Each structure stands twice: as structure tokens, then as C-alpha cells.
Amino acid sequence: MEIVVFLLFALLALASAVVVVSHRNPVYSVMSLVVTLLSLAALFVLLGAPLLAALQVLVYTGAILVLFLFVIMLLNVGRETPSGGTGRGQKIGALVTAAAFGLVVISLLWGRFVGIEMPALTVEYVALKPLARTLLSKYLLVFEMAGLLLLAAVIAATVLARKVGKSRGETV
């Protein structure tokens, strides 16, 4: 039963991920990404981590991807016109990404091969209270640094936006 659900969502995630990169219309790409992320959320639930699933949906699908759509609509990006052939940069990008992905897969397999067992993602790690405790004790420094980084990003974005606003003579 569980394997059926897993396969269903795993396939859905992969298929929609392919659509994300292959579709010519950016809105469809974003919507496919929504499907990918929702499928991943379902996989998280299967792993016994409904909290991560909820956060995934709340943060990624509920906010970040909406911003993607927002920007696409603001810029009024239409259907991408086939440009005939692929660019040099595109090729390099594809190679680098494939290499990085391959590295991850190989390292996982290698670990298995030499017998370093990755600890299973069990409820002790991903339930609400243990997760919160881990984040705010063992990884407190990293957690706070991430927060600080986000704050810096917010300030930087504000400064940039203000500059544009000023040159337009607005008081917003």
C-alpha cells in the first residue's frame, strides 16, 4: 500500500519536474513546480514528517511560488519563443547541474556501498518538539545565522527598491 502511494507521488514529482524545465510557457512551469512540491510534501508525510510537509506547502507553494507567478505577470512574460538551437551558457549550465546531481547520487550510493548507514528519518527527528529542540539548541548558531542572512536580504531589497522609487519621484 505504502509503496503504491510512494510510487504515485514520486512519479508525479519527477514528471512534473520534467515539465517545469521543458514547458515553453513560464506560468505552466510554475504550476508544474507547484505539483512537484505538493508531491514532495506527500512524500514527507509518508516519511512520517507531516510538519515538514505542512511547512513545505505553506512556505514554498503558498508563498514563494506565488511570488514567482506575481513577477511573471508583472513582467508580462509570454510564451517563450523557440530560439533555434541552445546557447553555450545553457549547455554549460546543464552539464554543471548534471554533474552536481550525479555527485549527490554517487555519494549516497558510495555511503551505502562502504557500509556507512545514513540514520533513518524517524519521528524522533522530524516531530514538532524534537525538531524545534534540535534547531534551537544544537543548530542554534546556524539557525540564527540563517535568520540574519534573511534580514540582510530584506534590508538590501528595501534599499534597492527605495532607490528605484526615488528616481521615479515617488514617496512610497
Cell of 39: 508531491
Binding characters for other proteins, 28-67, by CB under 8 A (x = yes): x--x--x---------------xx-xxxxxx--xxx--xx
If one asks whether residue 12 binds other proteins (CB under 8 A), the answer comes out as no
Residues of span 140-159 touching other proteins by CB under 8 A: none
- Site mask, other proteins, residues 60-99, x = CB under 8 A? -xxx--xx-xx--xxxx-----------------------
Cα 123 to chain centroid distance, Å, stands at 23
At its nearest, how many Å lie between other proteins and the CB of residue 87?
A: 21
Say whether residue 128 binds other proteins (CB under 8 A).
yes
Positions in the binding site for other proteins (CB under 8 A) = 27-28, 31, 34, 50-51, 53-58, 61-63, 66-67, 69-70, 73-76, 127-128, 164, 167-168, 172
